[in-house]
Amino acid sequence: MDLGIELKGSKIILKWSKVRCDYYRVFLKKDEFFCECAKVYNDTQVRLSLVPFGDNECFVEAVRNGKIVGKTSKRQFKLDTIDVIPTSENEKDEKFYYSKYEGADGYRLYKSENEENFGGVKNSDAEFISVEKSQNTEYKIKPFKKGDNGREFLASSPVFKGGENIFKSTSMYKSLNFNMFLSWNFKGDADGFVVCTENSDMPVFETNDGLRHYFEITEFKGSTKFVVKSFVNTPDGRLYTAVSKPTGLGIRKYEKPDVSLIIPAYNAKDYIARSIDSALASDFANLEIVIVNDGSTDDTQKIIDWYAKNYDNVVSFQKENGGVADTRNFGIAEAKGEYIAFMDNDDLIRPDMISSLYKTIKENDCDVAIAPLYRINNNGYTIHCDLPFMENVPYDIDKYLEIMYTPGYYNCAIWNKLYKASKVKEHPLGKGLKYEDVSWTPCILSYAEKFCFLKTPFYEWDRKTRPETFGDVLAKQPEDQLFEHRKQAMLFFIQNGNPAKKEYLKTIAKRRLARYAKNSPNPAYQDMIGQIDAGKY
């Protein structure tokens, strides 16, 4: 087994080669002995916090049926900073745990007094420092030795903020087949979560996915309450950083459709319930969930019917099969909200997505609000659509059109945005087009006057649950057919976009075509770029 070590700020990330086993054990040297600090299932990496300052040594072993079936060599590494983990004690107090510095006589906490200066607050010779909770206050911690001339500081932590690692909200609702689901909105940095019943510390669920926010509950009564605990992995094992309030079965509140979330559904019986659950977990009360069944031939409609029967804000429609664009247009026509968002039937949204986008689009009086998104596959989470704009500030739409499809900003996702419904209803998606997102996103944005941006990813584009999408199927077509589909997508937004933005749209099309041309032997892409320059389109 190979073992790689990555130093990421004050954290250590260990990655190893995969072997057939039940789990992996991670060992770190402490006081001349190797101690197990983490057990990892279904993954080949782990992040460690609070690793001691200075020289360290580690290894990983694989275990199957109680026997060691693989082992990495021992690897040495050096850490030259102090790591700090804030933990929430209660609503008023928090503790700052810090990594050890061998030989230090104590640790001093500093608090920011202004943009340039930090003032000493208190000392500690324990493994943590307790303070009164203060949102967004900046701190740093320094180990020191006592000398004849006072304190001699040995190192320093990076600057960190107080008030981190908290559960902003938790919710629990009925799910399909009279099970329940629990959802949480965690603010902070976690390696994973544990779910327990209110009166027991025995986990009923645990995950090493630090971005997880959803758990389907079975075999418990509706009267049971649950708590969620966040944790980080440390040389001494798990350190719990926050505990949610006990959460019981709730009733979804809904008065009017301020926002309509449109979900096109087709043969999605294996995963659509999870997607609907994540939408129901939204902390935005007046969310209308519009689900349009595009002629499914499996039990998708039965699942949708169950949700429509049990939740007032779930609206169900059925239509003959016509493709994703036609299905979204059907939902757009039926949507009653002032704003519209989109979601696919195998993806997830985080609990605060709609409320966050709604708040910024209203405050800034914009036509569209945008945020990054997560792409999830077997290698974990990657962030897409992270744009170079300040948060919560209105921008002229030209600023976005200027960078669209430039290197690093290729993604044209339809789902990571909240749109003013009047704009969408006036300019629906093009029918019969295979690349419906590519064709429509530049088109609808060209009709916006202003947009605003948030830097937090809220949407989860899940390529793990259903690895092959319709786009993957398209990509396997013959080159000439593939070009024709892409050409029609380019022509749609050039010809149907805002005439006042036509030059922007032509430039966007040329950028996209140039990207296709890099990965295709078909000369038609360069030919079309020349035709656009010649004014044919």
Flag whether 467 is in a domain.
no
Q: Quick one: pLDDT at residue 117?
A: 87
Question: What's the mean pLDDT in 470-487?
Answer: 82
CA distance 453 to 417: 9
Boundary (domain end) residue, out of 46, 79, 112: 79
Q: Would the pLDDT of 2 be above 90?
A: yes
For residues 400 and 266, state if they share a domain. yes
Return the higher-pLDDT residue of 197 and 42.
197
Positive or negative: CA dihedral 386, 389, 394, 395: negative
Flag whether 193 is in a domain.
yes
pLDDT in tens, 260-289: 999 999 999 999 999 999 999 999 999 999
For residues 112 and 34, state if they share a domain. no
Question: What's the mean pLDDT in 422-451?
Answer: 95
Residue with tokens 């008030």: 163
Asked if 383 and 441 touch (Cβ cutoff 8 Å), the reply is: no
Q: What is the CATH number of the domain that holds 210?
A: 2.60.40
Q: Is the pTM of this model over 0.85?
A: yes
Transcribe 310-358 into DSSP letters.
H-TTEEEEEE----HHHHHHHHHHH--SSEEEE--TT-EE-TTHHHHHH
Question: What's the mean pLDDT in 146-152?
Answer: 88
pLDDT in tens, 288-315: 999 999 999 999 999 999 999 999 999 9
pLDDT in tens, 377-403: 888 899 999 999 999 999 999 999 999
Flag whether 102 is in a domain.
yes
Q: Would the pLDDT of 60 be above 90?
A: yes
Q: Quick one: pLDDT at residue 448?
A: 98
Question: What's the mean pLDDT in 312-320?
Answer: 97
CA distance 459 to 237: 31
Positive or negative: CA dihedral 292, 295, 301, 305: positive
For residues 502 and 418, state if they share a domain. no
Flag whether 274 is in a domain.
yes
Flag whether 516 is in a domain.
yes
Asked if 239 and 87 touch (Cβ cutoff 8 Å), the reply is: yes
Flag whether 473 is in a domain.
no
Q: What is the CATH number of the domain that holds 339?
A: 3.90.550.10
**Reported confidence tier of residue 432, pLDDT bands at 50, 70, 90:** confident
CA distance 227 to 182: 10
Q: Quick one: pLDDT at residue 477?
A: 82
- H or E element in which residue 14 lies: strand 11-16
What angle (nearest 5°) sits at the alpha carbon of residue 228, between those of residues 223 and 229? Answer: 150
Q: Quick one: pLDDT at residue 134?
A: 83
Q: Quick one: pLDDT at residue 50?
A: 97
Residue with tokens 């409320």: 355
pLDDT in tens, 233-263: 999 999 999 999 999 999 998 999 999 999 9
Q: Quick one: pLDDT at residue 468?
A: 61
CB atoms within 10 A of CB 481: 11
For residues 279 and 408, state if they share a domain. yes
CA distance 478 to 474: 9
For residues 174 and 210, state if they share a domain. yes
CA distance 510 to 528: 8
pLDDT in tens, 503-513: 999 999 999 99
Bridge-based pairing state of the strands 23-30 and 180-187: unpaired
pLDDT in tens, 155-176: 999 999 988 899 999 999 999 9
Tally of domains in the chain: 5
Flag whether 114 is in a domain.
yes
Q: Quick one: pLDDT at residue 478?
A: 87
**Reported confidence tier of residue 35, pLDDT bands at 50, 70, 90:** very high
pLDDT in tens, 79-128: 999 999 999 877 889 999 999 999 999 999 999 987 678 999 999 999 99
Question: What's the mean pLDDT in 514-532?
Answer: 94
Q: Which domain range does residue 237 map to?
A: 169-243
Flag whether 472 is in a domain.
no
**Reported confidence tier of residue 467, pLDDT bands at 50, 70, 90:** low
For residues 516 and 482, state if they share a domain. yes
Q: Would the pLDDT of 227 be above 60?
A: yes
Q: Quick one: pLDDT at residue 308?
A: 97
CA distance 359 to 449: 18
**CA-CA distances (angstroms) from residue 37 to 74, 237, 517, 519?**
15, 5, 49, 45
pLDDT in tens, 3-13: 999 999 899 99
CA distance 277 to 263: 12
Transcribe 273-310 into DSSP letters.
HHHHHHHHT-S-SSEEEEEEEES-SSSHHHHHHHHHHH
For residues 111 and 146, state if they share a domain. yes
| 3-class secondary-structure state, position 272 | helix
Q: Which residues of 436-464 are buried (b: 16+ CB within 10 A; e: fewer)?
A: bbbbbbbbbbbbbebbbbbeebbbbbbbe
pLDDT in tens, 322-377: 999 999 999 999 999 999 999 999 999 999 999 999 999 999 999 999 999 999 98
Q: Quick one: pLDDT at residue 148?
A: 85
Q: Which residues contact 381 (CB under 8 A, 6 or more apart)?
A: 211, 374, 375
Give the whole-number percent of the chain exceeding pLDDT 70: 98
CA distance 327 to 295: 10
Q: Quick one: pLDDT at residue 463?
A: 86
**Reported confidence tier of residue 449, pLDDT bands at 50, 70, 90:** very high
Q: Which residues of 120-155 are buried (b: 16+ CB within 10 A; e: fewer)?
A: eeeeeeeebbebebeeeeebbbbbbeeeeeebeebb
